[in-house]
């Protein structure tokens, strides 16, 4: 922990070279009540690419992810310090409305959580509440493109009015992704999106993530080293609330600087 200061200044050296920064975290600390869950994390997450957060369970991956769209605010005892900027706009300031922020930053959760109404209504939910569609036709178009982007259109086109909870787990997860991209967010946060899915569904989602990368800044939390290696361009390794190492995925997996990273990747703990 003593070296966290020096490390955080060195972690993102390569990132800035090839990719443009989208999200900047600066000295972020998160507390749950008296307990500190995140210690002084600083990093730059690039746009139009996939950044993977890895680390042992309980190290704070979800926590840091949830600071980016301020979902931590829904937890009474959570408290965030430090600066988080998206395109230079401070996220954590009082002036920023979490509602607007969350329209810019979509999120997909570990367990697919379609709302208890139809497939159509699920996807149309965001555009409706935010008033993004000017009419029924417009809304139909948004729903269709979103479902297409999420690679679900062909499977559900003929049963849009059926409950979203009636889909398979993998379909549900893609539905939820479609729901997230229906409001054209800039950032999509994914918290272990494949952990409840079988390998085939997982492959589909991974494919989808790879496609979405062209237009979005994607941050994904995963417990699968392989998945991180497959889908991400950048990887951050967290341990006990510290950002241990952050860099291009290739570097992290082939040539980690930190022994802890090395140990985790090779499966010696975690």
Partner 1 sequence: MPINALILLMMLVLISAAFYVGRSRALRSSGRGSVSLHSLPNYHGYFVALWTGVPALLLMAAMAVFGPSISESVIEMRLNQAAAPLAADLDAQLAGDSLIQSAQRTLDSSADVNAATQARAAIQSRRTAIADSIADTARESGASGLALAGFEYANLPPERRGLFINDARALAFNGQPSEITPAIEATASAFRPVDRIVRFGGAVLAILLAMAGLAWSRSRVKAGFRARNRVEAAFMGFLMFCSGIAILTTIGIVASLLFESLRFFEAINWRLDQFLFGTQWSPQTAIRAEQVGQTGAFGAVPLFAGTFMITIIAILVAGPIGLFAAIYLSEYAGKRTRKIVKPVMEILAGIPTVVYGFFALLTVGPAIRAAAQFVGFESAVTQSALSAGLVMGVMIIPFVSSLSDDVINAVPQTLRDGAYAMGATKSETVKQVILPAALPGIVGAFLLAVSRAVGETMIVVMAAGQGANLTANPLESVTTITVQIVMLLTGDQEFDSAKTLSAFALGLVLFIFTLALNVIALRVVQRYREKYE
Partner 2 sequence: MNNRTDIQAAVEARLAKRYRAEGRFRMFGILAIMAAISVLILLIGSIASQSIPAFRVNELTLPVTLEAARVDPAGDGSEASLRRGSYNSLLQEALRAEFPEIEDRGQLRELFGLYTPLNSARLQNQVLANPGLVGQTIDFTFPISDDADLYLQGLTTASSEAAPGLVATPSGTSGEVRVFANSNVFSPIVADIRERLATQAEELEDRARRYENRAASAAGEEARISLTREAEQARTQSASLRSLAEPGSLSVDMSPELPSRLIRMNGGIVHIDRISDSGRTAEGRVLVALDNTEAGDDWTIWTLDTPQAERRITDAQIAWAETLRERGRVETGFNTYLFTNADSREPELAGVLGAVIGSALTMLVTMFLAVPIGVATAVYLEEFAPKNRLTGFIEVNINNLAAVPSIVFGLLGLAVFISLFGLPRSAPLVGGMVLALMTLPTVIISSRAALKAVPPSIREAALGVGASRLQTVVHHVLPLAAPGILTGSIIGLAQAMGETAPLLMIGMVAFVADAPSLSVGGLTEPATVMPVQIFLWSDGAERAFEPRTAAAILVLLALMIVFNAVAVFLRRRFERRW
Give the residues lining the site for partner 2 (CB under 8 A).
Answer: 97, 99-100, 103-104, 129-134, 138, 142, 183-184, 186
In whole angstroms, what is the distance from residue 241 CA to residue 81 CA? 14
In whole angstroms, what is the distance from residue 243 CA to residue 257 CA? 13
- Is 58:239 a contact under the CB 8 Å cutoff? no
Residue 28 vs 133, nearer CB to partner 2: 133
Residue 175 makes contact with partner 1 by CB under 8 A: no
Closest CA to 181 of 144, 225, 134: 144
**What phi and psi values does residue 188 have, to the nearest 5 degrees?**
-120, 125
From the list 109-117, 137-145, 204-212, 230-238, the region that binds partner 1 by CB under 8 A is 109-117
Beta carbon of residue 132, minimum distance to ligand ATP (angstroms, whole number): 31
Beta carbon of residue 32, minimum distance to ligand ATP (angstroms, whole number): 3
6 binds, among partner 2, ligand ATP, Mg ion, none (CB under 5 to 8 A by kind): none
Residue 57 makes contact with ligand ATP by CB under 6 A: yes
Give the interface size with Mg ion as a residue count (CB under 5 A): 1
Q: How far apart are the first and last CA of the chain?
A: 18
Q: How many helices (H) and strands (E) does the chain have?
A: 12, 10
- Binder among 5, 27, 58, 259 for ligand ATP (CB under 6 A): 58
- Is 219:37 a contact under the CB 8 Å cutoff? no
**Residue 152: helix, strand or coil by DSSP?**
coil
Beta carbon of residue 71, minimum distance to partner 2 (angstroms, whole number): 18
Residue 103 makes contact with partner 1 by CB under 8 A: yes
22 binds, among ligand ATP, partner 2, partner 1, none (CB under 5 to 8 A by kind): none
Residue 126 makes contact with partner 1 by CB under 8 A: yes
Q: Binding to Mg ion (CB under 5 A): which residues in 54-73? A: 62
DSSP bridge partners of 243:
238
Give the Å distances, CA to CA, from 183 to 104, 132, 197, 202, 248.
Answer: 8, 8, 25, 24, 29
Place of tokens 């210690």: 39
Residue 22 makes contact with partner 1 by CB under 8 A: no
Beta carbon of residue 129, minimum distance to partner 2 (angstroms, whole number): 7
Residues near ligand ATP, by CB under 6 A: 32, 37, 57-63, 75, 77
């Amino acid at each position: 922990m003593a070296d966290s200061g020096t490390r955080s200044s060195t972690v993102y050296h390569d990132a800035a070279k090839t990719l443009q920064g989208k999200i900047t975290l600066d000295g972020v600390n998160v507390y749950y009540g008296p307990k500190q869950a995140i210690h002084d994390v600083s990093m730059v997450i690039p746009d139009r690419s996939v950044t993977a957060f890895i680390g042992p369970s309980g190290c704070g991956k979800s926590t840091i992810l949830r600071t980016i769209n301020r979902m931590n605010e829904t937890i009474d005892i959570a408290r965030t310090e430090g600066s988080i900027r998206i395109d230079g706009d401070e996220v954590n300031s009082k002036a920023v409305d979490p509602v607007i922020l969350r329209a810019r930053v979509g999120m997909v959760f570990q367990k697919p959580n379609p709302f208890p109404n139809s497939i159509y209504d699920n996807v149309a939910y965001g555009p409706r509440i935010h008033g993004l569609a000017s009419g029924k036709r417009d809304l139909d178009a948004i729903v269709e493109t979103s479902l297409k982007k999420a690679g679900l259109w062909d499977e559900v086109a003929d049963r849009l009015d059926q409950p979203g909870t009636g889909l398979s787990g993998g379909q549900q997860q893609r539905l939820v992704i479609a729901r997230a991209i229906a409001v054209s967010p800039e950032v999509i946060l994914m918290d272990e999106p494949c952990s409840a899915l079988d390998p085939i569904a997982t492959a589909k989602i991974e494919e989808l993530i790879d496609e979405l990368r062209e237009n979005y800044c994607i941050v994904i939390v995963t417990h699968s080293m392989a998945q991180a290696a497959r889908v991400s361009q950048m990887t951050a390794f967290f341990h006990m609330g510290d950002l241990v190492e952050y860099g291009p995925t290739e570097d992290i997996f082939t040539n980690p600087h930190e022994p802890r990273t090395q140990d985790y990747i090779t499966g010696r703990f975690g």
